[in-house]
Structure 1
Amino acid sequence: MKDSIKIKLSIMMFLQYCIQGSWYVTMGTYLGQTLKFTGVQIGLAYGTAAIAAIISPVFIGMIADRYFSPNRVLFVLNTIGAIILVLLTRITNFSLFFPVLLIYSICFMPTMSLTNSISFDNLKEPGKEFSRIRLFGSLGWIGAGLIISSRGLEPFATPFLIAAGISMFAGLFALLLPYKKPIQVENKISASQILGFDAFKLTKDKSFFVLILISTLTCIPLAFYDSFTNLYITNVGIGNAAAAMSLGQVAEIIFLFTFPFFFLKLRYKGSIVAAILAWVVMYGFFALGAYTGYKGFIYSVLPLHGFCFTFFFVAGQLFVDEKAPSTLRNSAQGLLTFATYGVGKYLGTLVAGNVVQANTSNGDYNWTSIWAVPFFIAIVLLIAFIVFFNEKRDNKKISV
């Protein structure tokens, strides 16, 4: 593998995650403080990512498999996305902001799976090399956030403009990535194939189905972390919550770098079991911290999120790439995005929101009961994955 290709893939990951890292975290501040959107409206705005992940990744993956090289699809999506991001800075009413943001999200969400499949297609040994390419995505996300925060740009539309500039550059840079000739299929294309439904045929393999199902359901307890950890640690009196949560991002970078070593020992099942088990510990310690009032429980497990995220999602992406035939490589990664960032996160948002609301009275949160829910869900998912997932080391593709 030429080092120049690895460098290009690393830059691709850095830019792609830098785009979302520029605006996603700070959007709530901008919408709430500057545009005066309500809490419900802000929640709906953030929900566009999940809706888009349900709509577009599998379909776009099919296009990248059958009609155009993935790098050219990435160019088109990022270029259109840049234009829409600029447009968003001109909109101040929710009735127009929401649908435009949804259109942008439909363009952006497939790029997450496309960058994965482009990397897998150009790495000789993805199990050893991909996590270190993906590492630059985390650096891009963190770097963008630090720049925005250090300049105090959170209440302004500027982060969208910065993201637009990066998106345009990322689109142009995509044209420098390796070209892959679309796979020609002699048979007539059906409507289901046009919509990307062929990827769902991969679930006829039991282990593939179990992975997709558990990945989807794991995003339910994950939604508790994403939506309420910042509120929780602030509520219990931990200062500088953002800095405390960054421990997870630092851990993610470390474990993305060291993942190949662990993966050689643990493989797919071991990596995913370790991730879910660590989530069980994290949610359990969150509940213990709330019950005892001892903040050490909370601090000690915040880095675990970076470990969990790396081992769970990277191992899952590698498994999907190994099992999917070449004709469905992009569609299969799109299916995983659909299941996790789409269905899973949408369900997780609904469950987490209702659990928190049911355990809130007069502004007081019963955090012990709240964190007990993802704790027990994670235990059930851990047992289910251990029992039902069977890892075959034959490297055979799933026939469809």
Structure 2
Amino acid sequence: MPLLVWPRLSAMMFLFYFSFGSWAIVLSTYLMSAPIKGGLNFSTAEVGWVYSTFAFGGMLAPMLVGLLADRLFRAERVLGTSSLACAGLLAVAGWWCDSNFANVDREYRAAAARETVDGRPVLDLLPELGPPPRAAGRGDPRWGPVRGALDRVNDDAVVRAASAAAFRPLFGVMLAYCFFLQIGLTLLTVITLRTLPDAGRRFSRTRMFGTVGWIVTGNTVGIFLAPISPQPLYLGAAAALATGIYSFTLPATHPKATGRTVAEALGLPALKLFRDRSFGVFIGVGFLATVMNQFYGVYAHRYFTDMGVPRPEMVMTLGQVCEVAVMFMIPVLNPKKRLKWLMAAGLVGWVVRGFAMTFGSMPAAIAFGVPMHGWSYAFYFVVAATYLDREAPPHLRASAQAIVSFVANGFGNWVGNVLAGDVVDAFRTGTVIDWQPVWAVPLVGASVALVAFVLLFQPPPERPAEKSAAP
């Protein structure tokens, strides 16, 4: 048995999620921000399409993983190669953003020079006005006409064309990046389950170090980098390079003698599980929860930035801290006996977050809304592994997991990006967003998911082997 398997796999998780988390939280704020703040002035729809590349990768990559890692190559080498590709593509994405900023900034300032308030160019007034008021009728009375002028600048045809020219190649680069990223995400689990002794018991503690990596990268970006800049992309590229090199040192994970067919990769053999109403409820609720979660995943950083929260990328790591705590709690709470109610607790967390973000004060949104992000993911999707183990017979478990992955990382993620972008656009005027009705949508969606789950979901009874193994 290879030496130090658990710490080596934990380091793999840490590096991979450190790279992933470096850009995932802050990129939307950077892309949507005006050039005078360092951003590229993307539209909400353009930002939604950039984040949808993660979903498209989640739909495409699983089919190729089965061919590569199950039939042709050692899994750790595929992980290393895909991570090196991620490093190169993130570096290209950062370079492209850097290269296009000057053009976007020039066109934005040219349009702004044509807008005047009280006979003065609108940008000349900004240093005098201080931060914008958070409610209408407050602050300097000049903010009203200044905002109107900035909205016209933001919607100027030449300004929009400059941002669109930066968007299109960036979308292609991020699509290629997320394809390789999703291959890596799948292989993290494959390598861990095949090489970790007692993987069923120790997997969650190994995966936890990925969450720790996400926490560390959020604080690194907040303390040492400029979040509204390409710097997080370059940090992600450097971390992906380290992940790629390190992956070739991992324990050898040889391909199986036979790999999955395309039908198995898509999870088609598990479709027979839909005969059980509870499995359909589980998938449907998971889909709805994933859709609603994209509101927070894509736009929470921009929301906290607009509300004046200092270093929001650091504040948002409270969600991952809570996730780590819940992962420690889950074995103690005995999910085999309390399966339904632990998963329901995850759905309750999304409802609590919705209330905090929609109706709560900013301290309440931080104290309750942010931690519930990790709470809900761990209780619903991590505990769901216990449900799938009980619901699906051994020969269908991989296919059942493929369905869940498609819903969580693929189709549901894409639908959530599109819906969230449309909703934010509906309540956005120029660069100003009315956030309360935006957060009301995921609140309603999470509430519907919770009620449907509690009323309709009934897990299968424990098998005799499970009862005898339970503490």
Decide which of 175, 179, 186 is 1:102's aligned counterpart: 175
CA shift digits 1:329-376 (9 cap, x unpaired): 776655433211221121112222333444567956261x44333223
* Matching of residue 27 in structure 1 with residue 27 in structure 2: yes
Between 116-125 and 220-229, the greater mean CA deviation after superposition: 116-125
Letter in 2 for 1:83: G
Quote the residue 1:120 is aligned against: 193
1:315 is matched with 383
TM superposition shift of 1:35: 6.9
Residue 87 (str. 1) matches residue 92 (str. 2): yes
Matched, 1:278 2:349: yes
227 and 170 in structure 1: CA distance in 2 versus 1, 3 angstrom threshold: closer
Q: Tell me the distance in 1 between the aligned counterparts of 2:71 and 2:339.
A: 29
Match of 1:56, SS state, is helix
CA deviation after TM superposition for structure 1 residue 102, in Å: 0.9
Asked if the contact 1:275/1:307 (under 8 Å) is kept, the reply is yes
Aligned residues: 386
**Pair 329,79 (structure 1): closer, same or farther in 2 beyond 3 Å:** farther
Pairwise mapping of residues 351-370 of structure 1 onto structure 2 (< 5 A)?
351-359=419-427, 363=432, 365=434, 367=436, 369-370=437-438
The letter of the residue matching 1:161 is Y
1:65-80 alignment to 2 at 5 Å?
65-80=70-85
Distance 1:329 1:74, change over 3 A: farther
Describe the superposition over 1:277-323 as per-residue Cα deviations: whole angstroms up to 9, x where unpaired.
2212221343332xxxx445434413222211222222234555677
- Asked if 1:388 corresponds to 2:392, the answer is no
Residue-by-residue CA offset, 1:162-213 (whole Å, 9 max, x unaligned): 3233223322322333333333349xx8xxx247545232232135544333
- Please tell me whether residue 52 in structure 1 is matched to residue 49 in structure 2: no
Q: Which residue of 2 aligns with 1:140?
A: 213
Q: 1:110: how far off?
A: 2.4
- State the SS of the aligned residue for 1:120: helix
Matches within 5 A, 1:1-400: 4-28=4-28, 31=31, 33=35, 36-39=40-43, 40-91=45-96, 92=99, 93-126=166-199, 128-185=201-258, 193-194=261-262, 197-205=265-273, 206=276, 207-233=278-304, 241-264=312-335, 268-289=339-360, 294-295=361-362, 297-302=364-369, 303-317=371-385, 319-320=387-388, 333-359=401-427, 363=432, 365=434, 367=436, 369-386=437-454, 387-394=456-463
Could you say what secondary structure the match of 2:88 adopts? helix
- Cα distance, 1:103 vs structure 2: 0.8
Describe the shift of the 1:285–1:27 C-alpha distance in structure 2 as closer, same or farther (beyond 3 A).
closer
TM-superposed CA distance for 1:81, in Å, is 1.9
Q: Kindly tell me: are residues 220 and 43 of structure 1, through their superposed partners in 2, closer, same or farther at Cα, counting changes over 3 Å?
A: closer
**Structure-2 separation of matches of 1:5 and 1:71:** 13
Query: Match for 2:375: what amino acid?
Result: F
Counterpart code for 2:298: S
- 1:37, CA displacement in angstroms? 4.9
Percent identical residues: 30
**Cα distance in 2 for residues equivalent to 1:120 and 1:286:** 37
SS at match of 1:391: coil
For the residues of structure 2 that align with 1:21 and 1:331, how far apart are their CA atoms?
28
Question: Which range is displaced more, 342-351 or 60-69?
Answer: 60-69
Look up the equivalent residue of 1:355 and give its one-letter code.
Answer: V
Determine if contact 2:343/2:379 at 8 Å carries over to the other structure.
Answer: yes
CA distance in 1, matches of 2:389, 2:429: 46
Closer, same or farther: CA 177–2 of 1 in aligned 2, 3 Å: closer
Q: In 2, Cα distance between the equivalents of 1:351 and 1:18?
A: 28
Matched residues in 2 for 1:36 and 1:339: separation?
31
- The structure-2 alpha-carbon separation of the partners of 1:348 and 1:389, relative to structure 1 and needing over 3 Å to count, comes to farther
On the 8 A contact 1:61/1:331 being kept in 2, the answer is no
| Unaligned stretches of 5+ residues in structure 1 | none
Most deviating of 158-167 and 47-56: 158-167
**Kept in 2: contact 1:69–1:181 (CA 8 A):** yes
Separation (CA, whole Å) in 2 of partners of 1:44 and 1:160: 17
Distance 1:209 1:3, change over 3 A: farther
TM-superposed deviation, 1:28: 4.0
Superposition RMSD in Å: 3.4
Larger displacement relative to structure 2 (164-173 or 31-40) = 31-40
Structure 1 residue 221 displacement after superposition: 1.6
1:16 CA displacement: 0.8
Distance across 1 between alignment mates of 2:396 and 2:254: 14
The SS at the match of 1:176 is: coil
Secondary structure, aligned partner of 1:393: coil
Query: What is the one-letter code of the residue matched to 1:249?
Result: Q
Distance of aligned partners of 1:391 and 1:269 in 2 relative to their CA distance in 1, 3 Å threshold: farther
Q: 1:99: how far off?
A: 1.0
Q: Which amino acid aligns with 2:58?
A: A
Matches of 2:280 and 2:291, distance apart in 1: 18
| Aligned match of 2:117 | none
Aligned to 1:184, the other structure's residue is in SS state coil
Structure 1 pair 288–3 and aligned structure 2 pair: CA distance change class (3 A): farther
Structure number with greater Rg is 2
Contact 1:321–1:333, Cα closer than 8 Å, also in 2:
no
Query: What is the one-letter code of the residue matched to 1:221?
Result: M
Partners of 1:356 and 1:370 within 8 A in 2: yes
Partner SS, residue 50 of structure 1 = helix
Does the CA-based 8 Å contact 1:71-1:179 persist in structure 2? yes
- Give the direction of change, closer, same or farther, for the CA distance of 1:94–1:371 in structure 2 (3 Å limit): closer
